[in-house]
């Protein structure tokens, strides 16, 4: 077993390689950079945007293949080059097959998943895509929505982004504003309108409903809100 000492500055800085390996590491890094640029260019613009699950797998494979040769002097650059070529061929082959067979494309890259319909949360869709309420509400707030009544449809795309179709006529709905902001919630609330705190189903009642929600069978009613104007 090698004798490690805290005062061995050479080992700490250079490891077991000679100082001249730093020059080789710089050359390897430059060649790897060029290789990655070429690979990403050949994979297409889609990989430069938000990743699908298949594209994330490709990037992780490239990172795993290229990481070791950058730091290890006894590893050549030819193996990661071969891996990059295989990844490019595989990606293009899968995309071509996916264009002809939608089931294969869906199995690899997932499909569009509906999460909201007519101001109500689709609980089953959220469960299948493993999207929590907090994350969904965050994505809606980032697009400028304050409550579910403003939304006709919302879809989770294969890239993980959220696309929203606004409702033509806004109605009261379940607030997506942070729950801790009581002042804002009170300013936006609408009398006689209640929204299910679980799925967002809207009902008119005075006082609060005493029965369970007809959609999700939960009893978590909260005052419905309308959009606050700036």
> For the chain, how many helices (H) and strands (E)?
9, 7
Q: How far apart are CA 19 and CA 23, in angstroms?
A: 8
Q: How far apart are CA 161 and CA 124, in angstroms?
A: 18
Please state the length of the chain: 230
- Helix 78-100 crosses helix 21-43 at what angle (to 10 degrees)? 10
- DSSP structural state of residue 227: P
* For residue 49, pLDDT beyond 50: no
Least confident of 72-81, 141-150, 168-177: 72-81
Least confident of 9-13, 41-45, 144-148: 41-45
pTM across the whole model: 0.64
Supply the pLDDT for residue 122: 94
Task: Return the SS3 of 102.
Answer: helix
Structure tokens belonging to residue 97: 């097959």
Q: Residue 137's closest CA among 222, 150, 202, 218?
A: 150
* 73-117 per-position pLDDT tens digit: 565 666 666 777 777 777 777 777 777 877 766 666 667 889 999
């Amino acid at each position: 077993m090698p004798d490690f000492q805290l005062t061995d500055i050479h080992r700490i800085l250079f490891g077991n390689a000679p100082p001249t390996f730093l020059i080789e590491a710089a050359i390897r890094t430059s060649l790897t950079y060029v290789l990655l640029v070429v690979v990403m260019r050949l994979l297409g613009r889609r990989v430069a945007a938000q990743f699908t699950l298949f594209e994330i797998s490709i990037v992780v494979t490239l990172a795993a293949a290229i990481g070791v040769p950058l730091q290890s002097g006894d590893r050549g650059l030819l193996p990661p080059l071969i891996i990059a070529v295989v990844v490019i061929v595989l990606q293009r082959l899968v995309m071509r097959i996916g264009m002809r067979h939608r089931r294969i494309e869906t199995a690899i890259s997932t499909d569009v998943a509906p999460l909201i319909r007519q101001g109500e949360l689709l609980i089953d869709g959220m469960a299948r895509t493993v999207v929590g309420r907090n994350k969904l509400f965050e994505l809606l707030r980032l697009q400028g929505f304050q409550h579910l009544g403003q939304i006709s449809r919302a879809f989770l795309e294969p890239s993980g982004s959220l696309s929203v179709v606004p409702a033509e006529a806004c109605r009261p709905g379940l607030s997506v504003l942070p729950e801790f902001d009581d002042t804002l919630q009170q300013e936006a609330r609408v009398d006689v309108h209640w929204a299910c705190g679980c799925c967002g189903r809207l009902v008119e009642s005075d006082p609060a409903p005493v029965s369970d929600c007809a959609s999700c069978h939960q009893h978590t009613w909260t005052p419905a809100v309308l959009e606050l104007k700036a």
